[in-house]
Structure 1
C-alpha cells in the first residue's frame, strides 16, 4: 500500500512539474510574442552582410541601414548576428544603465594576442580594480612631472622628420605614441628593454588583424610568438623592480605593488594589462593626431587660429627655449577645441562590441542572448539632430556647453571608457605646439581618401614633407597633389 501511495505521489509531483514547465513555456512564448527583433536584414546564410560591409566605407554601410530601418536595427556580420544602436539613449542603455547585462566581447584570436585578463575584456570587480589602478597611474600628480619628457620626445620626433623626405605621418606617429606609452607604463627604462619591447610589439601589431592561422611563417603566427616574447620581457622588468624594491608611480609600479587585504595581482594579470594599455595607447592617439594635422592643413583659417594661440606661448617661453608648463597647456583652448572636433569628425573608435548575457528588451525590441550589440559612436557623432552640418569641421561647437548629453563618445562610454584620454589629449597638445610654431609642411599624394588599419586614417597614412622654420621665415602648410 505504501508503495502505491508513493508512486501516486511521485506521479502527482511529476504532473505538477510538467504543468509548471508548460506554463513557463507559454509565458515565455507570450512574452516573446509581444517583443520582436529590430528591423533589418540578416543577409545570406553564414556570411550575412559581411561582403556588403567590406565592399564599402563602413560608415556608409551603417548609415544606409540606419536611414532604412531606424536607430535600432539588426544585421549579420563577421559570423555573428548583431543589433546596431545608433542613438544616445540606446548606447547609454547598453554601456551604462544595463551594462551588467552586456559583456565586452572580442574575437578569440585578438584576445589571445593581448591577453584574456586585460582590462577591456573584463567586467565586474576585477575590471573596476584594474581601472582604478590605471587611473591612479595617470593622475595629474603623476603626469605633471613627465611633461618635459613627453615634450622632448615630441621635439625629437619632429626634428627627425625635418629633412624634406616624405613622411607617412600615421606610421611615424605610432612610434611617438608608443614611446610615450612606454614612459607612462614603465617610467625610465633601460635602452635594451625599450628596443626589445618595440621590436616585438611591432611584430605583434602587424599580425593583429591578419587571418588567425597558426601556420609557421604567417603574420598571425609571428604575432603569437612575439606576444610570448613580450610576456617574458615584461616579466624580467617586473622581477627587476621587485628585487630592487623600486616603488615607482608608473602603471607597472601600481600593478606590481597592488595589495588589498593580502590580495595581489598574478604575473599573467599584470602582463596582460601592460600589453593591453600599450595596444590601446598607440593606434588611437596616432590616428587622431594624423587627422588633426590633416584638418589644420585643409582649413588655413583654422591653422592661423591655432598658430596664433601657440605663438603667444612660444614667445613667452623665450622662443621655445623654456619648456612648456602645465598652466600653459591648460590655456590652449583653441587647440583643445580643434582636438575635440577632430575626435568627433574622425570618430576613430566607430563602435564597440558587447554581447547580451541574457534575453533583453529595449524599447519594445528583443535583444536575444548571445547576440552581439554594437553602439555606433560614429553615427551618433554625425547625426544632424545633435550636430548642425555634421560633415563640416567646426571647432566652435565646443566653445560652450552646447553638446547634448551622451552624444559625444570619442573615447567610448561608461565604465569601459578609455581611462587614459586626458593623457592622450595632453601629448597631442604638446606635439601640436611644437609642430605649428617651428615647422611648415606639405601634404603630398592623394587627398580625401580613408583607409582602415583598423582605425580610420587618411589615405596612405598622410604622406607629408616637413621643414624646420626660423622665426622670420614662418610659412603656412600646404598641400601638393601628385
Structure 2
C-alpha cells in the first residue's frame, strides 16, 4: 500500500494525516459533490439491469458500479486512460493484500507489486496534468474530485501533501471504497426483500422525501439523505447483521489484563467483529434483522458496533460507503423489485460474507 498509507505510518503521523484528509473525503463539500456523481452512475446502471430482461448477478454488477463510483470520485468523469486496464491492475493489487508475500514471477504478490508500480505511474501522470491545468485556470467547484481536494489541503503551517502521500492515500481509497460497499448494498437489498414490512416502511419514508421536494429539483441532495432517519437505521442494521468485515488486527502497546488473562505488550490481537455483532449480550435477538433497534433512544454500547473498526483507526471511507448504500436503496425501494433465483445459495465468508451465486436475481421496474 506504500510508505505513506494509513497502514504503515507512526501513530502520530497517522493522526496528522487523517486530520488533513478528513475534509477531502468526508467533509461537507466533498460529500455534496459525491451525491450527484454516485446518482449519475447508479441510476443508469439500475435501469440497464431492469431493461436487460436477463438474470443479473447483483454482487457482480454492484462491484462494477462501486468501482466506477470510486474512480469517478477520485479522478473525475473525464479521464483519458484505459479504464479496463485500471480495473485489472486494481484487481491484481487487491489480490496481493490477501496473498502469501512471495515476490517471484507468477506469484500473486509479485503481480500485485507490478500492478502497484503501473498504478503509481498513472496517478503521477494525472497529478502532473492537473498541475499544468491549474497553472492556466482554476477549476470550478462542481468540476472538482477527490484528487483536486487532496492537492489543495494544507496543514497549520501552510504545507501541502506531498506527491507520495497523495498517491498512497488515493490507492488506499480505491481499495477501501470499492468491494465492501458493493457487498453491503447487496445485503441491504436481500434483507429488505426478506422483510416486506420493513421495505414498505422505508418506501413510505422515501416517498415523503420526494413529496417535500421543490418541483424544479432534479436528483437527491445531501440534505435529503440526512433527513432519511429510517433509511439510516436500515443501513446500520445491514452493517451489523451482514457482518461484512470479519476482524480487525491490532498490537498491544502495553500489558493488558482482561478478566485475569494477561495480554503482554507486543502481542498481536485479533478482534473478531462477527462475534461482537451477534452477541446476545449486546443485541436482543441478534439474528433478527430489525432496523428499529437503532431508534435514537437506543444507543449501542461502546465497542459493540464496529463495522468500520473504531477509535483512531476508524475506516475513513465510512461516510462514502453509507452514502452509496443510501442512494442505491432510495432508488431501489421507489422504482425497482427483485427476485432471487437461488434463495438457498451456499455462503462464502472470506474475505467478505457473500452468496456463492453472487446473488443471482431477476431485477425489474415496479409497475
Smaller-chain TM-score range? 0.7 to 0.9
Query: What is residue 400 of structure 1 aligned with on the other side?
Result: 296
Query: What is residue 7 of structure 2 aligned with on the other side?
Result: 120
Query: What is residue 378 of structure 1 aligned with on the other side?
Result: 274
Query: What is residue 30 of structure 2 aligned with on the other side?
Result: 142
122 and 461 in structure 1: CA distance in 2 versus 1, 3 angstrom threshold: farther
Distance 1:397 1:446 in 2: 26
433 and 304 in structure 1: CA distance in 2 versus 1, 3 angstrom threshold: same
Maintained 8 Å contact 2:20/2:154: no
Query: What is residue 363 of structure 2 aligned with on the other side?
Result: 466
How much has 1:315 moved relative to structure 2? 5.4
Distance 1:379 1:272 in 2: 32
Distance 2:340 2:164 in 1: 44
How much has 1:441 moved relative to structure 2? 1.3
How much has 1:461 moved relative to structure 2? 2.0
Structure 1 stretch 434-443 or stretch 258-267: which is displaced more? 258-267
Equivalent of residue 161 in structure 1, options 43, 49, 65: 49
Query: What is residue 177 of structure 1 aligned with on the other side?
Result: 66
123 and 464 in structure 1: CA distance in 2 versus 1, 3 angstrom threshold: farther
How much has 1:270 moved relative to structure 2? 2.1
How much has 1:208 moved relative to structure 2? 3.8
After superposition, where does 1:4-403 map in structure 2 within 5 Å?
Answer: 114-137=1-24, 138-162=26-50, 163-192=52-81, 194-245=83-134, 250-260=145-155, 261=157, 263-314=159-210, 322-403=218-299
CA deviations 1:404-455 (Å, max 9, x no partner) are 3312222111011022322221221111111122222111125263213411
How much has 1:133 moved relative to structure 2? 2.6
How much has 1:320 moved relative to structure 2? 11
How much has 1:298 moved relative to structure 2? 1.2
Q: Which has the larger radius of gyration?
A: 1
How many equivalent residue pairs?
Answer: 357
Distance 1:160 1:428 in 2: 19
Maintained 8 Å contact 2:99/2:109: yes
Structure 1 stretch 166-175 or stretch 333-342: which is displaced more? 166-175
| RMSD of aligned alpha carbons | 2.6
Distance 1:448 1:387 in 2: 27
| SS at structure 2 position matched to 1:352 | strand
Unaligned 5+ segments in structure 1 are: 1-113, 474-482
How much has 1:115 moved relative to structure 2? 2.0
446 and 145 in structure 1: CA distance in 2 versus 1, 3 angstrom threshold: closer
CA deviations 1:215-240 (Å, max 9, x no partner) are 43343332222111111101111111
Query: What is residue 457 of structure 1 aligned with on the other side?
Result: 354
TM-score normalized with structure 1 length: 0.68
Maintained 8 Å contact 2:37/2:73: no
194 and 321 in structure 1: CA distance in 2 versus 1, 3 angstrom threshold: farther
| Deviation >6 Å, runs of 4+ | 318-321
